[in-house]
Structure 1
Amino acid sequence: MSDSIKHECGIALIRLLKPLSFYQEKYGTSLYGLNKLYLLMEKQHNRGQDGAGIATIKLDVKPGHRYISRYRALGKNAISEIFEYVQRKFAVVQKSNPEEFLDSQWLKENMSFTGEVLMGHLRYSTQSNNSLENCHPFLRQNNWKTRNLVIAGNFNMTNVDELLEQLFELGQHPKEQVDTVTVLEKIGHFLDTENNALFDQFKKQGYSNVEISELIAQNLDVANILRRSAKTWDGGYAINGIFGHGDAFVMRDPAGIRPAYYYQDDEVVVVTSERPAIQTAFNIPIDEVKEIDPGHALIIKRDGRVSLEQFITPTEKKACSFERIYFSRGSDASIYKERKMLGQLLCDSVLKSIDYNIKKTVFAFIPNTAEIAYYGLHDGVNKYVKELQGRKLLRRSDKISDDEMSEMLNISPRFEKLVIKDAKLRTFITQDADRQDMVAHVYDTTYEVVKPHEDTIVAIDDSIVRGTTLRQSILKILDRLSPKKIIIVSSAPQIRYPDCYGIDMSRMGEFVAFEAAISLLRQRGMGNIIEEVYHKCILSLSQEKEEVINHVKEIYEPFTYDEISKEIARIITPHDINAEVDVIYQTLENLHVACPDHRGDWYFSGDYPTAGGNKVVNRAFMNWVEGKTTRAYFSA
């Protein structure tokens, strides 16, 4: 994606099902779990570079001994910093007492981060406030083991204000109005409630307090706690949590918006946001990695029992399609095929736009995430060429001349690496004009490939959000090659609406498709629609959440898809370039063909999978009209 946006967080959970001594004997280390956690986090580094954190819990530790360990760090090197911190602790023991380092029981009794339950988190902040305090995992502490709670997640709730009010009604006083706090405290409240009910039950049966603590640990109903906690949540989420005594869970939202995958054998249970991370870290085939069903929680009890239990009624599955287009690693087998298909499905539109003149077209991609779609376009164009050759050579009734045959057989599409993402440049100079000039050089190009004033450049990008980098950098750089025309091709449809489920695309004015629609309304004397939609959005504030509809759709209704695309091309074209610029977008229909199991397309269609989404999009439009740059939702 040429326009960098922040997005998605990544989760990892490991539950070792054997004693630490087992891993020492079989794998030569008691730190098997930590090593695997490191791999899982590094293989999902794409999901979060603002910060990271880990937490571990030891099972069956005697009173008076620490059993919860946590460490968090900020910045793109947070994973390395965390594991270097942990490694230093063990390096001291390994050097001074090598026998104790090989003693798994000694390590568990004396060293932090030697627990059987391990949690990792990678963070992309959706607020400017990126402090260590905002890094997951979050910890809710208590002297009762079964009341301790650690959570980390990839989530965003649209109704934080409503959830906060519910906590007030319960008598709580959260310190912040953010979804991480409300989720932590909501689960924590019902964890306390469950503890209280079990304590009263066993106390009546005559058990001592010490006995009751163990009975509570055995009998906590994790699914019921999650069921009561999530009853009024509105958002997309994959949340993992650990209770102090060792029960663990990963819960997924009822529409399956956020991804969660798991693997289980007799040694380990592991959960991540992305499937290839598990495949790589544990060297297992794709069919052994399962998906947590929407509205279900994978629950791992302290005694090792594993179950998949429904905690909320699943709705129509709307798994995020942006996961497939851009955010997830392309090494996933299904994602790789889908991204290739997205490129291939653009072939007809691209061929029409170049008037089928393969000979005078250079195909390229905008690095780095559009590369797979580029291969799909490559396959589609080559398929067209073969079919053309077949029609011309095999279906002609008259004899073809040698020159004609030679010309037809020599048709060879030119696929080149024209756009190169240069090393990240630092804008040391503070003036805006100078900084913009530096930004224009983030990308470079390959020279002497394009025939000046003859060739058309077709450059595929995976999506176009703001169009800023195209306008300030890429188009200017490509124009230096003196092409006759530049066609920018997006493997994603037009991004028209904000996200509110964990991706930092929340302000209407940042979408070039929205800018184009507003521009067309004003050009054609239809500015009254802007005011009408604004008033409808205001009226929707007094409606019940379930009654609210997406009024912003009316902004786009007067125009065809192609009209919006043409206006986008005009907006992103720098005034000082010579080449004609055109923009081709993927259609919504083709997106569904390529990604049939991920139909969460609200960015493009405006069809939000939860009621809160409609409230957010209307609020985002109101903010734009009122000149506010704040997000239309609360998050962390």
Structure 2
Amino acid sequence: MSDAIKHECGIALLRLKKPIEYYIDKYGTAFYGLNKMYLLMEKQHNRGQDGAGLANIKLDMNPGERYISRTRSIDQKPIQEIFTGINKRFEAIEEKNPDLLKDVDYLKKNAGFTGELFLGHLRYGTSGKNSLESCHPFLRQNNWMTRNLVVAGNFNLTNVDELFEVLLNLGQHPKEKSDTVTVLEKIGHFLDVENEELFQQYKAKGYNNKEITSKIAEGLNIQKILKRASEDWDGGYTMSGLLGHGDAFVLRDPAGIRPAFWYEDDEICVVTSERPVIQTAFNLKKGDIKELKPGHALIVKKNGKVSELEVNKPVTRAACSFERIYFSRGNDHDIYLERKKLGQLLIPQIIKSINNELDDAVFSFIPNTAEMSFYGMMKGLEDFLNIEKREAIKNLGANITDEELEKILTRKTRFEKIAIKDAKLRTFITQEDARDDMVAHVYDITYGTVKRNQDNLVVIDDSIVRGTTLKQSILRILDRLDPKKIVVVSSAPQIRYPDCYGIDMARMGEFIAFEAAIELLKETGKGYLINDVYRKCKEQANLPKEQIKNYVKEIYAPFTADEISKKIAELLKPIGMKAELEIVYQTIENLHEACPDNQGDWYFTGNYPTPGGNKVVNKAFTYYIEGNTNRAY
């Protein structure tokens, strides 16, 4: 994606199901779990570079011995800083006595992060804050081991205000009004309730307090706790948690908006946001790994028993398609094929845009993340060209000459590496005009790849959100090659609506498709619709979210997708650009064909999978009209 968008967080939960001595005997190290956590987190670094955190719980520790460790970082390379800091402690032990690094009793009593239960988190800050306190995992401490709670997640809730009020009504006094703190305290409250109910139950049976403590650890009903805590959550989430005595869980939202994958054998149980990282870390096949079902929780009890249990009734699956298009790691087998398919399905639109002038066309991609859809586009062009070759040969009949046959067979689509990003260039100039000129040089071009004033130049991008980089940089440099026409192809459809489930696209004014629709309304004498939609949004502002309708759809309704694309091209064309410009977007139908299991398309259609989405989009539009730059949730 040429536009920089923050997105998604990543989680990694690992439970070692054998004693630490087992891993020393089999793998030669007491740090098997730590080493795997480094891999699981580093292989998901694409999901969060604002910060990272790691927590660990040791099982079966005696009173007075530390059993929870946590470290977090907002360093430029947070994962490396976390593990370097942990390793320094072990290096100090090694200098003292190398044999201690295999002394499990010593390590568990004297060194942090030597327990059996790990939870790692990678963070992208979508709300602007990037302090250490904003980094997961979050910790809720208590002298009762079974009331200690560590929480981290990939999530965003749309109804934080409502949930905050619930906490107040419970008598709590939260220190912060954020979805992370709200989730932590909500789960924590019902964890306390469950502890108290079990305490009273066992007390009535005559057990003493020490006996009750171990009974509670065995009897905690994690499924019930999560059900009570999450029943009024509205949003997309994969929520993970550890309890101080050793239980663990990962809970997924009922629509499956945010992803989670898991694997279990007799040595480990692991859960991550990305499937291929489990494959890489443990050398597994795709079929070995399961997807956590929407509305379900994977619960790992302290005794090692693993269960996938329904917590909230699943609704129509709306797994995020935008995540498949761009944010997830492309080395996942299915994602790789889906992204190629997105490029391949664009062929009819591309051929039309260049007036079937394949012999006078050069194809490329910007940025590098669009490479997979580029491969699909080239495969589609190859197939199209083969059909043309076959027809040409048939039309020439039996009297075809070798020269004519050779001319047909040697026709090929031309592709080049047109643009290269100069990662070292920094736009330090603050004056707007001068800065724009510097921004235009962030990418560099490969000269001599285009026949001047003759070739069409087609470049594919993952998606076009704001179009800022296109206008300020990419189109300017491509125009220096003097193509007859530049066609920018987006493998994603037009992004028209804000996200409220974890991707940093929250403001209506940031979308070039929305800007184009507003301009078209004004140009076609339909500007009154803008005020009509604003009025309707305001009228339902105080309604329960379940009763709110997405009226922002009416902004786009008068126009076809092609009309909006044409206006986008006009808005993005830099002053002085000589080549003709066309913007081609993926269709919604093709998106669904390419990503059949990820039908969550609210960015493109406004069809939000939860009631809170409609509330957010209307609020975002209201803020746009009022000039309010705050987030709508």
Contact 1:427 1:435 in 2 (8 A): yes
> Structure 2 length as normaliser, TM-score?
0.99
SS of structure 2 residue aligned to 1:142: coil
Contact 1:251 1:296 in 2 (8 A): yes
Structure 1 position 282 matched with structure 2 position 269: no
Match of 1:462? 462
Match of 1:109? 109
User: Could you report, residue by residue, the CA deviation over 1:38-77 in whole angstroms, capped at 9, with x for unpaired residues?
Assistant: 0000000000000000000000100000000000000440
User: Could you report, residue by residue, the CA deviation over 1:589-622 in whole angstroms, capped at 9, with x for unpaired residues?
Assistant: 0000000000000000100000000000000000
Q: Pick which of 178-187 and 428-437 moved more.
A: 428-437
Contact 1:52 1:120 in 2 (8 A): yes
| 2-structure distance, mates of 1:366, 1:74 | 30
Cα deviation, residue 94, structure 1: 1.3
| 2-structure distance, mates of 1:431, 1:396 | 62
Contact 2:600 2:609 in 1 (8 A): yes
Q: What code does the residue aligned with 1:185 have?
A: E
Cα deviation, residue 398, structure 1: 5.5
Q: What code does the residue aligned with 1:180 have?
A: T
| 1-structure distance, mates of 2:100, 2:175 | 43
| 2-structure distance, mates of 1:256, 1:32 | 31
Match of 2:489? 489
| 2-structure distance, mates of 1:484, 1:45 | 40
Q: What code does the residue aligned with 2:566 have?
A: K
Structure 1 position 348 matched with structure 2 position 348: yes
Cα deviation, residue 405, structure 1: 2.3
SS of structure 1 residue aligned to 2:583: strand
Structure 1 residues 209 and 414, CA, compared in 2 at 3 Å: closer, same or farther? same
| 2-structure distance, mates of 1:362, 1:78 | 41
Match of 1:222? 222
Q: What code does the residue aligned with 1:72 have?
A: R
Cα deviation, residue 402, structure 1: 4.2
| 1-structure distance, mates of 2:221, 2:433 | 60
Cα deviation, residue 395, structure 1: 5.1
| 2-structure distance, mates of 1:163, 1:276 | 35
Match of 1:581? 581
Match of 1:560? 560
Match of 2:315? 315
Match of 1:258? 258
Cα deviation, residue 392, structure 1: 1.2
| 1-structure distance, mates of 2:105, 2:581 | 67
SS of structure 2 residue aligned to 1:308: strand
Match of 1:413? 413
Please give the residue correspondences for 1:11-50 in structure 2 after superposition, counting only pairs within 5 Å: 11-50=11-50
SS of structure 1 residue aligned to 2:46: helix
Cα deviation, residue 115, structure 1: 1.0
Q: What code does the residue aligned with 2:96 have?
A: S
Contact 1:249 1:299 in 2 (8 A): yes
| 1-structure distance, mates of 2:154, 2:436 | 33
SS of structure 1 residue aligned to 2:628: coil
Cα deviation, residue 397, structure 1: 3.5
Match of 2:608? 608
Structure 1 residues 619 and 352, CA, compared in 2 at 3 Å: closer, same or farther? same
Match of 1:202? 202
| 1-structure distance, mates of 2:11, 2:59 | 21
Contact 2:362 2:450 in 1 (8 A): yes
Q: What code does the residue aligned with 1:473 have?
A: S
| 1-structure distance, mates of 2:31, 2:540 | 55
Match of 1:549? 549
Contact 2:52 2:73 in 1 (8 A): yes
| 2-structure distance, mates of 1:428, 1:489 | 30
Q: What code does the residue aligned with 1:113 have?
A: F
SS of structure 2 residue aligned to 1:242: strand
Contact 1:362 1:450 in 2 (8 A): yes
User: Could you report, residue by residue, the CA deviation over 1:103-132 in whole angstroms, capped at 9, with x for unpaired residues?
Assistant: 122211211111100010000001111100
Contact 2:75 2:81 in 1 (8 A): no
User: Could you report, residue by residue, the CA deviation over 1:64-99 in whole angstroms, capped at 9, with x for unpaired residues?
Assistant: 000000000004400000000000000111122111
SS of structure 1 residue aligned to 2:154: strand
User: Could you report, residue by residue, the CA deviation over 1:513-562 in whole angstroms, capped at 9, with x for unpaired residues?
Assistant: 00000000001111100000001000111222111111000000000110
Match of 1:162? 162
Structure 2: unaligned runs, 5 residues or longer: none
Q: Pick which of 296-305 and 380-389 moved more.
A: 380-389
| 1-structure distance, mates of 2:183, 2:424 | 37
| 2-structure distance, mates of 1:67, 1:46 | 31
Contact 2:12 2:120 in 1 (8 A): yes
Cα deviation, residue 363, structure 1: 0.2
Q: What code does the residue aligned with 1:358 have?
A: L
Contact 1:24 1:104 in 2 (8 A): no
Contact 2:6 2:124 in 1 (8 A): yes
| 1-structure distance, mates of 2:30, 2:406 | 67
Q: What code does the residue aligned with 2:500 have?
A: C
Contact 1:276 1:331 in 2 (8 A): yes
| 2-structure distance, mates of 1:392, 1:451 | 25
| 2-structure distance, mates of 1:432, 1:240 | 44
| 2-structure distance, mates of 1:151, 1:175 | 16
Cα deviation, residue 431, structure 1: 2.6
Match of 2:367? 367
SS of structure 1 residue aligned to 2:369: coil
| 1-structure distance, mates of 2:430, 2:542 | 45
Match of 2:449? 449
Cα deviation, residue 175, structure 1: 1.5
Runs of 4+ residues deviating >4 angstroms: none
Structure 1: unaligned runs, 5 residues or longer: none
| 2-structure distance, mates of 1:19, 1:452 | 69
SS of structure 2 residue aligned to 1:370: helix
Match of 2:476? 476
Q: What code does the residue aligned with 1:154 have?
A: N
SS of structure 2 residue aligned to 1:351: helix
Contact 1:21 1:105 in 2 (8 A): no
Structure 1 position 247 matched with structure 2 position 247: yes
Q: Pick which of 403-412 and 2-11 moved more.
A: 403-412
Match of 1:437? 437
Q: What code does the residue aligned with 1:17 have?
A: K
Q: What code does the residue aligned with 2:405 have?
A: M
Contact 2:55 2:70 in 1 (8 A): yes
Contact 1:20 1:105 in 2 (8 A): no
SS of structure 2 residue aligned to 1:79: helix
User: Could you report, residue by residue, the CA deviation over 1:236-274 in whole angstroms, capped at 9, with x for unpaired residues?
Assistant: 000110011010000000000000000111000000000
| 1-structure distance, mates of 2:279, 2:596 | 23
Q: What code does the residue aligned with 1:571 have?
A: L
Q: What code does the residue aligned with 1:261 have?
A: F
User: Could you report, residue by residue, the CA deviation over 1:265-289 in whole angstroms, capped at 9, with x for unpaired residues?
Assistant: 1000000000011000111000001
Please give the residue correspondences for 1:596-635 in structure 2 after superposition, counting only pairs within 5 Å: 596-633=596-633
Match of 2:91? 91
SS of structure 1 residue aligned to 2:37: helix
Match of 2:523? 523
| 1-structure distance, mates of 2:395, 2:155 | 57
Contact 2:495 2:604 in 1 (8 A): yes
| 1-structure distance, mates of 2:408, 2:274 | 45
Please give the residue correspondences for 1:5-154 in structure 2 after superposition, counting only pairs within 5 Å: 5-154=5-154
Match of 1:357? 357
Q: Pick which of 25-34 and 419-428 moved more.
A: 419-428
| 1-structure distance, mates of 2:629, 2:378 | 41
Match of 1:590? 590
